[in-house]
Each structure stands twice: as structure tokens, then as C-alpha cells.
Amino acid sequence: MCGFIGIAGLPGNEVAAELYEGLIALQHRGQDAAGILSFDGKFHQRKQNGMVRDIFHAQDMEHLKGNLAIAHVRYPTVGGGAGEDAQPFYINFPFGVGMAHNGNLTNWVDLKSRKFPAANICLESSCDVEAILYAFAMGMQRTLKMDPLADRLRTAVESAFEHAKGAYSVVGILSDGALFAFRDPHGIKPCIVGRRVSAKGTEWAVASESVAFDVLGFERFRDLKNGEAFLVVPGQDPVFIQITQKKHTPCIFELVYFARPDSFLDGVSVYKARQRFGEAIAAQWIEAGLPTPDAVIPIPDSARDAALSAALALGVPYREGFIKNRYVGRTFIMPSQAQRKSSIRRKLNPIPIEFEGRTVLLIDDSIVRGNTSRKIIETARKAGASKVYFATTSPPLIAPCPYGIDMATKDDFVARNRSSEEVRIEIGADLLLYLDMERMIAAGRAKNPELTEFCTGCFTGQYPTPDAAEHLEALSAERAAMRV
Ligand code: AMP
């Protein structure tokens, strides 16, 4: 999972500093590396491993010239992390094009080892966007004399869709002086277009999440549709091109965990969706005849909105029982179980007075390996809770994500081949409730009737694209090899 933003500013407007602000707003989507690529007749780039604030300095903004620029934050999936895999990527021949993406190709190995060598293309990095860039370039090359630019983009994106399988949203710059974007045929990854109107004219932007627009004064124009491309030359009207379309299945885990609550994805407020998850938990809790807790306590941060609405619906107080130390890094991706477990305790510290003698309902977004919930339940008991109930705003996670959300290999999921009762015992809760799939989906799509389905592969093992299962086998072998 990664994040990107691109801006087509008015001629003469320098946009790099704005992209920096946009990246800061998207930092939650990737803390491993970041980069900005700008264009003022030629490309200028800075990218490196690290956090956005540590990579870019005032002199970089002077060097990153131009009114067209794209930027990226990277979240490594398996095997990644090297500096040369930081994005954006660009080529200058046979024409100039720069690109950044969010997502994962399921046929990258086949492209790298077979299809591209046959076309004399040698991929240098292990970053998927390089493959998309070359697939795009192969199409573009067939169009060099074609006009207008929108037709050339169409051919290039068709070529990208033909070669690159999986889930991806892409933002890019053409050296003709245009910003473009496209979203995969299933629209699994988010991609939104923004607009900023001033007395001087209209500027356009594209981003993974609308929160990047808020900080820059852009309004949400609309989400790209699945299989759709967008093109804008600064100062001109943009063009939307529907290239192909399969069933639109955006990733529901964006709403559950990944996106910021102040974003809108496919017209759905993430914050409101999480509130509805909480109401749905409360309804399910009551329908199941489970005992009313003394208080509802969220596992910060992603479960806060849901816990608040669940507490209201259950008619019990909402309490902050755990304080998160935001300077402890990501426990989730630490290599060993022992490291993951000890950092969870350092990351979440209890406020004992909220637990002493109380029956508490803890709400989290999800249970993956079960480390967090087990440790948190143990901590709540040590802090004096008389009973600890646990609920999640999603159903049991049982299958890895082939599309770039780092989760675990299939054997790591605590809910795989275990009943809900067995998971309850594993994590040490007095009661465990997983939000039903139907209720989660209904809450996710409530405000956008056009959304009929989501990608729910991590809950079902059924994925929208055909070669996802093969890809996961390869990934799991790679992880096993890394462990030895
Ligand atoms: P675990 O301890 O493995 O059960 O992880 C569950 C916790 O990790 C939950 O609190 C989630 O908020 C969080 N989580 C779930 N998926 C991810 C992910 N892909 N990356 C980072 N954290 C995650």
C-alpha cells in the first residue's frame, strides 16, 4: 500500500512545495520511502528511503522546478525497501514519462523474467511501477505520430492494462506537458481527482486519498472510475477516458483500517463508514443477546470512530483506555513474533482507572495474527478489568492480500482454520464478536448505492483478478525463504 499525489498547476506556478504538504497528509500510507518528480521542460527528481519530513529540505524545493509534479510515499510489501525502489520512476526515451503508483502487480515475475526480456526490456528495480511504466511506454511508442494527446494516452493505458495484472492506481507526467492518471479495471485501489479554482484559472490534482486535497485547498472533483484514465494539460480542460471496465470492487480494508478518517473514497466518508461499522457492531451485539458492558474502549487510532458510535448505540460510556505512543514504529511489520509482541505493550499503555472493576468492550478494526488483541486483553485484565469483551469492525481475516496490503502469509492468520470460539480462547477474551460480512459491506456502501461490491479477498480468499492465487503462492515461498 502506498500513496501518491500529482498536481497540474497553472503555468508559472511552482508546485513542489505543495506536493510536500500533500505527502505529509498521506504519510500514513507509507513510511518507508518518498519521492517527488517535477517537470519544467525536463524532469527533476528527489527520492530516498525515510519519512517525508526527513527527505525534503528547502533547497530541494528550489531544485524541483515546474508546475507539473507527482509525488509518492512508499509502504514496502514483501522483499522491498531498497532505495532504488523508491518512486516516482521516469524515462526520457523514446519520450518522457514519469510515474508513481499504489498497488501490486500479480504477474510481475512473469513480466520481468519472460515477457519484457522478449521485448528487450530489462527491469532494474523490483518495483511494480517500473513494469507499468514500460507497458505504458510500449503502447505510447505505437502512437508517436497520433494526435490528439488523449488518443495517445488511451493507447498507452490500454497497453498497461493488457500487460499489468493486479490492482493499481497510477499518476504520471508526460513530457508533452500533461498530468495523467488511471485506475485498474476493477478499481481496487483508490484514485481521486481534485480541482482548485481561482481568479487566475483552474488547477487539477490527483491523489490516493482526498485528505491530500484538503490541506492544499483543492475540492474533491470526482473519483476516477475503474478502468478510467484522466489527462490534463495545465490551463486546459481535463479529459476523462473510459478505457475498459470490469466489476468495480474497491478494497474494503481501506475503509476498515488503511485510509485516514478525514478522507472520502469512492464518495464514501471513511469517518462515517467507521461510525456505521460501530453501529452495526452494537446492533449485532444486541441481537446476539450479549451482556451490556460498563464501557466501550477503542484500540487507537483506527477503531475510535466505530467505538464511539457503538457506545452510543449500546447506551454505555465511551472511554479512552489506551494511550498510543506514536513514536514506537510499526509493530506490525517487525520480523519476529517476539519483537512484535514486546513493542505492542510499549505502543499502547493503559489508563487503569478506566478498567478497575469494570466489564469493558474493546473495539479494534481487525485481528490478523492475534498478537495485538491478546496483549491488549492481557493488559486490560492487569489494569483491573473484571471482564474483557472484544469486537472487531471486520469479519475474520483469513487470507493474504495480493494487491499490496502487507498482512501475513496464510498460516499466520489466527482465524484461519479456527472457529470464532477458538479465536476467542486464543486471544483470551471473555466474549468475541466479529462484525458480519454483510453488515460490514452494507455499512461500507451505505452512502453510495453505485457501489455494489468490494474486494473482500482478505476475508474470503476469493479475489477479483484471476492470477491472484498463483501470485500469493510465489509470495509465500519468498517469505519462507527470507525467514531461513
Ligand atoms: P495482529 O496483532 O497481527 O492481530 O494485528 C492486528 C492489528 O494490526 C490491528 O490492531 C490492526 O489495526 C492492525 N493492522 C491490521 N492490518 C494491518 C496492516 N496491513 N498493516 C499494519 N497494521 C495492520
C-alpha 32/C-alpha 50 separation (Å) is 5
pLDDT tier for residue 77 given thresholds of 50, 70 and 90? low
- 358-371: string of b/e by CB count within 10 Å (b at 16+)? bbbbbbbbbbbbbb
Residue 342, H or E segment: helix 337-347
Distance of CA 471 to the CA centre of its chain: 19
Residue 76 pLDDT more than 90? no
Structure-model confidence comparison of residues 328 and 394, the more confident one: 394
**What is the mean pLDDT of the segment spanning 216-237?**
97
Catalytic residue among 2, 401, 455, 458: 2
Tell whether ligand 1 has an atom less than 6 A from the beta carbon of residue 304: no
> 367 CB less than 6 Å from ligand 1?
yes
* Least confident stretch, 114-128, 227-241, 292-306: 114-128
Q: How many CA atoms lie within 13 A of 336 on its CB side?
A: 4
Q: What atom of ligand 1 comes closest to residue 368's alpha carbon?
A: 4
CB–CB of 444/252 below 8 Å?
Answer: yes
Q: Which atom of ligand 1 is nearest to the CA of 344?
A: 2
Give residue 358's identity as a one-letter amino acid code.
R
Per-residue pLDDT at 189: 98
Q: Cell for 108?
A: 510481475
Helix ranges (H only) for 44-166 are 52-55, 58-63, 108-110, 116-118, 128-141, 149-163
Cβ–ligand 1 distance for 401 under 6 Å, the answer no
Give the start-to-end residue ranges of the domains of the chain: 3-249, 267-463
Ligand 1, residue 371: give the atom nearest the CA: 2
2 included as an active-site residue: yes
The cell 486535497 sits on which residue? 213
Decide if pLDDT at 478 tops 50.
yes
Residue 484: pLDDT band with limits 50, 70, 90: very low
**Is-contact 464 186, C-beta < 8 A?**
yes
Please state, for a pLDDT cut of 70, what percent of the chain lies above it: 96
pLDDT digit string, tens, across residues 315-341: 999 999 999 998 877 667 666 777 777
Dist. CA 328 → ligand 1 center (Å): 15
Distance 364 CA to ligand 1 centre (A): 9
Quote the percentage of the chain above a pLDDT of 90. Answer: 82
Distance 407 CA to ligand 1 centre (A): 7
The CB of 331 under 6 Å from ligand 1? The reply is: no
CA atoms within 13 A on the CB side of 31: 8
Lowest mean pLDDT among 3-12, 80-89, 421-430: 80-89
- Fold type of domain 3-249: Glutamine Phosphoribosylpyrophosphate, subunit 1, domain 1 (3.60.20)
> Phi and psi of 146, rounded to 5°?
-80, 150
State the pLDDT confidence band at 1, using cuts at 50, 70 and 90.
Answer: confident
| 149-175 average pLDDT score | 97
CA distance 177 to 239: 14
Question: How far apart are the CA of 406 and the centre of ligand 1, in A?
Answer: 9
Please determine, for residue 147, whether its predicted confidence score (pLDDT) is greater than 80: no
Residue 370 in contact with ligand 1 by CB distance below 6 A: yes
- The whole-angstrom distance between residue 349's C-alpha and the CA centroid of its chain comes to 27
| Pairing outcome for strands 178-183 and 97-105 | unpaired
What H or E segment, with its residue span, contains residue 304? helix 304-314
Q: Which residue has the cell 520511502?
A: 33
For residue 82, the model assigns a pLDDT of 60
Q: How far is CA 444 from the centre of its chain?
A: 16
Whether the per-residue pLDDT at 34 is higher than 70: the answer is: yes
pLDDT confidence tier of residue 479, bands split at 50, 70 and 90: low
CA dist 351 and 154 (Å) reads: 56
Check pLDDT > 70 for residue 95.
yes
Q: pLDDT for 401-450, tens place per residue? A: 999 888 777 789 999 999 999 999 999 999 999 999 999 999 999 989 89
Lowest mean pLDDT segment, chosen from 152-166, 274-288, 313-327, 464-478: 464-478
348 lines ligand 1 (CB under 6 A): no
CATH 3.40.50.2020 fits 267-463, yes or no: yes
Q: pLDDT by residue (tens digit) across 464-476? A: 998 898 888 877 7
Ligand 1 contact, 409 CB (< 6 A): no
Say how far apart CA 96 and CA 43 lie, in whole Å. 8
Work out the pLDDT band at 481, boundaries 50, 70, 90. Answer: low
Residue located nearest, by CA, to atom 9 of ligand 1: 366
Q: Which of the pair, 447 or 198, is modelled with greater confidence?
A: 198
**Mean pLDDT calculated for residue range 112-126:** 90
Residue 222 DSSP code: E
* SS3 label, residue 105: strand
User: Which of 339, 348, 364, 368 to mutate for ligand 1's pocket (most ligand atoms within 8 Å of CB)?
Assistant: 368
Q: Is residue 278 pLDDT above 70, yes or no?
A: yes
Mean pLDDT score across all residues of the chain? 93
Q: What is the structure's pLDDT at 469?
A: 82
Is the peptide bond prior to 148 cis by the omega test (within 30 degrees of 0)? yes
Whether 92 shows a pLDDT value over 90: the answer reads yes
Report the C-alpha gap between 84 and 27 in whole angstroms.
19
- Judge if 3-249 and 267-463 fold alike in CATH terms: no
Classify 341 as helix, strand or coil. Answer: helix
